[in-house]
């Protein structure tokens, strides 16, 4: 089937049912189970079970209604450190490019986009789609933290599931899994509010886990999942004693697309990928954006990463024997100014349609961002996840969901009315950039839109 002829499966969305607010002194068997398994003196990180992961999720959800200080009553700083250190050790053993090979055609691969600390929406989606297991593989495509009020809780739940079902969960790195973004967009301040004096140890453990995250996953050898987008071919490495150094291309040298081989050989980027030296590929993967205009060029708007057109997507798919690139990175705030690509109201977009395949964006944080100025209209976007099924694995089924409201009361952990609303104009490795949304182009022939999606969608409801 030609990629342009493939139908996109989705269903009309309906609101999520409203949660019951737990009592102020929420407790019970799930919390007791958590205390038995995850307190520092009893934490056995080699034997975290699915029941432990579900108990942790339930206890953290209950604690979220009792305010920031309640977290350390459920997951003390020492326990959080042990959990994150165990996660980091597991992730270090994984390559930069993870191969996800479904064991049979009845295995589903569900891809989450950005979740940004929106714990209750993540749990709603998991409870509706089903939890990881032999027939359900999950890929979480980065940006677990920042902006939302429960970044540590989301990270802890994903860490527990990765430890409980390592073969059924793949965690990938987004641009917010970095020191720069977590200092600006709230995660660091969140840990201060929740752990106080215990914050430095938890933050160090989290950054080590972030640095160990893989950059991409290839599903059934035909679909590539990565956070931001395509990447350039790195400069040629010097040999001999200087083999770790890379030659800088002469000024004006055209950019060349990287390959899966380049991705496999790339560094994961370290604590704070800057786009310099060995972090070049990692930074591109985490920060790049698609545009409708043909070409491959530096992302001058963001000041980091690339922008790439449908011709670059076509070349990358064809040269690497792929049929789908599935990325995240752009929410409704990043897309609302753009005229060249679809908006993010539905939680997903089809950005490039080419003879070789498609490039799509999935975003899993509904009603995003959580915090906005009182005089700003909310985007009221849906969240979505992409489900890949055999035998082709290249035609996502989009499952949409509304935000779980009301959310527990929480103060913002960043100055949301005084920082860029879509990662614009921030310092990354000494470079300053702004939002890519100012870029526009007119490649109607190669750019897909929701208007072209004539298949049904599915909505997640309780």
Question: Is 176 marked active-site?
Answer: yes
User: Is the sign of the CA dihedral 410, 415, 417, 420 positive or negative?
Assistant: negative
Q: Tell the residue number behind the tokens 């987004």, with chain if given.
A: 174
Yes or no: say if 357 and 388 are a contact pair by the CB < 8 Å rule: no
As a whole number of angstroms, the distance between CA 272 and CA 228 comes to 16
**Quick one: how far is CA 181 from the chain centroid?**
14
Yes or no: say if 298 and 280 are a contact pair by the CB < 8 Å rule: no
H helix intervals, 93-218: 119-129, 151-164, 179-184, 187-195, 199-212
Q: Tokens representing 258?
A: 């990287």
The dihedral region occupied by 147, where left means phi > 0, alpha psi between -120 and 50, and beta the remainder, is left
Yes or no: say if 43 and 79 are a contact pair by the CB < 8 Å rule: yes
As a whole number of angstroms, the distance between CA 137 and CA 172 comes to 14
Decide: helix, strand or coil at residue 232.
strand
Catalytic residue among 124, 176, 329, 352: 176
Q: What is the DSSP letter of 240?
A: G
CA distances to 148, 149, 173, 212, 430 from 272, rounded to whole Å, are 21, 22, 12, 12, 11
Please, is 19 exposed, middle or buried when counting C-beta atoms within 10 Å of its C-beta (0-12, 13-18, 19+)?
Answer: middle
Largest CA distance in the chain: 65
Yes or no: say if 169 and 161 are a contact pair by the CB < 8 Å rule: yes
| Spatial CB neighbours of 284, under 8 Å, sequence gap ≥ 6 | 228, 229, 230, 231, 232, 258, 275, 305, 306
As a whole number of angstroms, the distance between CA 125 and CA 382 comes to 12
As a whole number of angstroms, the distance between CA 172 and CA 183 comes to 20
As a whole number of angstroms, the distance between CA 374 and CA 367 comes to 15
Q: Tokens representing 395?
A: 């035609």
Active site residues: 176
């Amino acid at each position: 089937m030609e990629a342009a002829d493939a139908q996109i499966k989705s269903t009309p969305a309906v609101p999520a049912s409203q949660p019951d607010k737990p009592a102020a002194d929420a407790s019970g068997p799930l919390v007791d189970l958590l205390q038995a398994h995850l307190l520092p003196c009893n934490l056995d990180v080699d034997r975290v079970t699915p029941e432990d992961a579900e108990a942790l999720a339930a206890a953290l959800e209950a604690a979220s209604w009792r305010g920031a200080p309640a977290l350390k009553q459920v997951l003390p700083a020492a326990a959080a450190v042990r959990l994150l250190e165990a996660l980091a050790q597991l992730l270090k053993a994984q390559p930069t490019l993870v191969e996800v090979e479904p064991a049979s055609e009845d295995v589903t691969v569900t891809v989450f986009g950005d979740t940004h600390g929106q714990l209750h929406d993540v749990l709603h989606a998991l409870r509706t789609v089903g939890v990881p297991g032999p027939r359900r593989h999950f890929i979480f495509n980065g940006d677990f933290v920042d902006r939302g009020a429960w970044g540590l809780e989301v990270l802890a739940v994903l860490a527990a599931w990765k430890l409980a079902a390592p073969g059924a969960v793949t965690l990938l790195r987004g641009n917010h899994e970095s020191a720069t973004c977590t200092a600006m967009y709230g995660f660091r301040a969140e840990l201060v509010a929740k752990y106080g004096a215990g914050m430095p140890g938890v933050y160090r453990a989290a950054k080590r886990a972030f640095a160990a995250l893989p950059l991409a996953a290839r599903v059934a050898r035909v679909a590539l999942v990565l956070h931001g987008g395509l990447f350039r071919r790195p400069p040629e490495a010097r040999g001999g004693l200087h083999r770790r150094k890379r030659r800088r291309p002469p000024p004006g040298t055209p950019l060349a697309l990287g390959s899966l081989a380049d991705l496999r050989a790339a560094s994961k980027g370290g604590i704070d990928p800057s786009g310099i030296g060995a972090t070049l590929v990692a930074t591109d993967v985490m920060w790049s954006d698609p545009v409708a205009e043909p070409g491959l060029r530096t992302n001058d708007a963001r000041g980091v990463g690339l922008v790439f057109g449908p011709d670059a997507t076509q070349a990358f798919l064809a040269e690497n024997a792929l049929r789908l690139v599935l990325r995240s990175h752009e929410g409704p705030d990043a897309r609302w100014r753009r005229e060249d690509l679809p908006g993010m109201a539905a939680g997903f977009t089809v950005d490039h349609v080419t003879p070789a395949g498609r490039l799509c964006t999935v975003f899993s944080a509904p009603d995003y961002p959580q915090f906005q100025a009182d005089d700003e209209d909310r985007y009221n976007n849906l969240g979505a996840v992409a489900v890949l099924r055999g035998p082709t694995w290249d035609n996502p089924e989009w499952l949409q969901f509304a935000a779980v409201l009301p959310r527990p009361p929480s103060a913002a952990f960043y100055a949301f009315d005084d920082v860029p609303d879509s990662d614009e104009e921030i310092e990354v490795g000494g470079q300053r950039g702004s939002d890519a949304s100012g870029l526009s182009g007119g490649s109607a022939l190669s750019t897909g839109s929701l208007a072209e999606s004539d298949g049904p969608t599915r909505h997640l409801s309780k």
